[in-house]
Amino acid sequence: MSSSYLKSSGRKEEEEEEEEEEEEEEEEEEEEEEEEEEEEEEEEEEEEEEEEEEEEEEEEEEEEESRHG
């Protein structure tokens, strides 16, 4: 493309608008990805907590059994 073609004001504005739209879309996608990552991290934390609770319960049961044993 020749520079004189790009300098025609209508075309220039159109390109700028397109660029802005693309940037906005990219930002939205990034935000969505960040949200998904946060959700995944929360789920992992919940799973870890559940596992820890289960382990604690098992340990308590074993202690109970050893006391009665």
pLDDT digit string, tens, across residues 27-65:
999 999 999 999 999 999 999 999 999 999 999 999 999
Number of other residues whose CB lies within 10 A of the CB of residue 45: 10
Rounded to a whole number of angstroms, the CA Rg of the chain reads 29
Query: What does the pLDDT read at residue 5?
Result: 57
Q: Could you give the angle at the alpha carbon of 55 between the alpha carbons of 51 and 56, nearest 5°?
A: 115
Query: What does the pLDDT read at residue 68?
Result: 80
